[in-house]
Amino acid sequence: MQFSESWLRTFVNPSLSSEELSRLLTMAGLEVEEMSPVAPPFDKVVVSQVLSKEKHPDADRLNLLSVDVGQGEPLTIVCGAPNVSVGMKAPCALVGAKLPGIEIKQAKVRGIASFGMMCSAKELGLAEESGGLLELAPDAVVGQSIRQHLDLDDHLITLKLTPNRCDCLSLNGIAREVAALTGAPLQTLPPVSFKQASTQSLKVGAIASACPRYSGRVICGVNAQAMTPAWMVQRLQRCGLRSISALVDVTNYVLLELGQPLHAFDLNKLRGDIEVRFARNGESLKLLNEQTIALQEDMLVIADSEGPVALAGVMGGADSAVDETTTDIFLESAFFAPAAIVGKSRRLGFSSDSAYRFERGVDFAATRIALDRATQLILDICGGQAGPVTEAQGELPLRPPVRLRLARVQRVL
């Protein structure tokens, strides 16, 4: 489990250094396998905005830029990046800045004085390769330290968890552990504020023994081409996931945040109602990874009236996936019994974050919480109208009782 320390500290922020936090987790049984900074040390790099761009009189591939760095008069900077454009915001290393392997000095480039350097992600040590300047969000504050703007004083922490600690396969779960160990207050997620704005829904059914709880909601009128916010992309990347699209990113974000796997189907690619059942002889399914599998009768699937559309708890199907043309979705949040999921992805020769969690067991009480959280994020980013939750529920696992004598309570109080 890899996560961002700064993201964790939005849930719980004990008065501990990064090293002390790492040691605390390890001694509590959550072994920290690795902790590394997200960026190498550097200074005097700020958010800048390109005000004007002219061709260099003596070099075809160079441009003369007038750059606002938030310090009054704009700077003249010679730049050869292919993606530079007027109005864009990008990191600018000021004279005196020390970057990985280089110190920025005032210099003449083909006879023109340059008072700084516009930077790519590679030049800041944030990527191994880059195709031009690191383009920043339009709302980036000119003059702000790039370390502050991109939260570069963060650390990546990798935990080596034992199979019984599935409760710590999320930021919320790790934060809960840290709060218990330190007494620091645990921050809760903001309450959802959306209201049901649609009556559209799908009926759902499930084999109770294999899927004790299956919840879903239709969301109509989403903009699948909406841009994922930069803060979400950054958090996903620091947890080892790449940004795919806003709809998929939200489901992955909630997976990391709460530990509950989710899946978004394109509603217009589904036929009829949803049923969670075991595969039938002769059925096949093309997965999101483009692998077509021959389903076996012990494999749990999500099916519509025409056949399987997802391998339950493992991976969605390619034919029902959301894409840039999607306007309506069916958002799934379920509790699959570990015995119904275990070993299926390994048998097929791949792994998935969902299977990893369902095999170990997720919190069956969190399905609705995660569904509402993802709905709120989708509405905030992609718009749309949320329908009612439909649910199939069987007999849920019994929680073991915690026995406590009244006399002990009285002594403690």
74-83, 93-102, 107-116, 281-290: the lowest-pLDDT one: 107-116
What is the model's pLDDT at position 121?
93
Classify residue 3 by burial, with Cβ atoms within 10 Å: 0-12, 13-18, 19+: buried
Whether residue 224 is predicted with pLDDT greater than 90 in this model: the reply is yes
Report d(CA 216, CA 229) in Å as an integer. Answer: 25
Is CATH 3.50.40.10 correct for 204-393?
yes
3-state secondary structure of 251: helix
Whether residue 60 is predicted with pLDDT greater than 80 in this model: the reply is no
Give me the sheet containing 31-37, strands edge to edge: 2-4, 155-160, 31-37
Contacts of residue 81, Cβ cutoff 8 Å, sequence gap at least 6:
118, 120, 132, 133
Contacts of residue 18, Cβ cutoff 8 Å, sequence gap at least 6:
5, 35, 155
Report d(CA 385, CA 192) in Å as an integer. Answer: 14
Whether residue 142 is predicted with pLDDT greater than 90 in this model: the reply is yes
| 213-229: average pLDDT | 97
Residue 277 β-bridge partners: 301
Question: Right CATH number for 45-149 from 1.10.150.450, 2.40.100.10, 3.20.20.70, 2.40.50.140?
Answer: 2.40.50.140
Split at pLDDT 50, 70, 90, the class of 58 is confident
Domain 2-38+154-182 architecture: 2-Layer Sandwich (3.30)
Whether residue 127 is predicted with pLDDT greater than 90 in this model: the reply is no
Report d(CA 116, CA 401) in Å as an integer. Answer: 65
pLDDT in tens, 195-206: 999 999 999 999
Split at pLDDT 50, 70, 90, the class of 107 is confident
Whether residue 310 is predicted with pLDDT greater than 90 in this model: the reply is yes
Closest C-alpha among 127, 168, 227 to residue 29:
168
Report d(CA 341, CA 105) in Å as an integer. Answer: 59
86-100, 106-120, 152-166: the lowest-pLDDT one: 106-120
Which has more confidence, 411 or 283? Answer: 283
Rounded to the nearest integer, the mean pLDDT of the chain is 95
In the chain, residues under CATH classification 3.50.40.10 are 204-393
Report d(CA 250, CA 253) in Å as an integer. Answer: 5
Closest C-alpha among 322, 200, 316, 231 to residue 4:
231
In the chain, residues under CATH classification 3.30.56.10 are 2-38+154-182
* Radius of gyration of the chain from its Cα atoms, rounded to whole angstroms: 25
14-23, 53-62, 159-168, 221-230: the lowest-pLDDT one: 53-62
Report d(CA 327, CA 304) in Å as an integer. Answer: 19
Which has more confidence, 95 or 59? Answer: 95
What is the model's pLDDT at position 81?
93
CA contacts within 13 A on the Cβ side of 68: 14
What is the model's pLDDT at position 306?
96
Structure token digits, residue 176: 């809960």
What is the model's pLDDT at position 225?
97
Contacts of residue 162, Cβ cutoff 8 Å, sequence gap at least 6:
29
* 49: phi then psi, degrees, rounded to nearest 5: -130, 135
pLDDT in tens, 290-302: 999 999 999 999 9
- Residues 336, 358: contact at Cβ < 8 Å? yes
Report d(CA 339, CA 322) in Å as an integer. Answer: 29
What is the model's pLDDT at position 253?
99
Any idea of the CA torsion for 235, 241, 246, 250, to the nearest 10 degrees? -70
Report d(CA 75, CA 115) in Å as an integer. Answer: 6
| 34-57: average pLDDT | 95
Classify residue 136 by burial, with Cβ atoms within 10 Å: 0-12, 13-18, 19+: buried
Tracing tokens 């006879």 back to the chain, one arrives at 111
What is the model's pLDDT at position 130?
83
Whether residue 109 is predicted with pLDDT greater than 90 in this model: the reply is no
pLDDT in tens, 373-401: 999 999 999 999 999 999 999 888 888 89
3-state secondary structure of 235: helix
In the chain, residues under CATH classification 2.40.50.140 are 45-149
What percent of the chain is modeled with pLDDT above 70?
Answer: 100
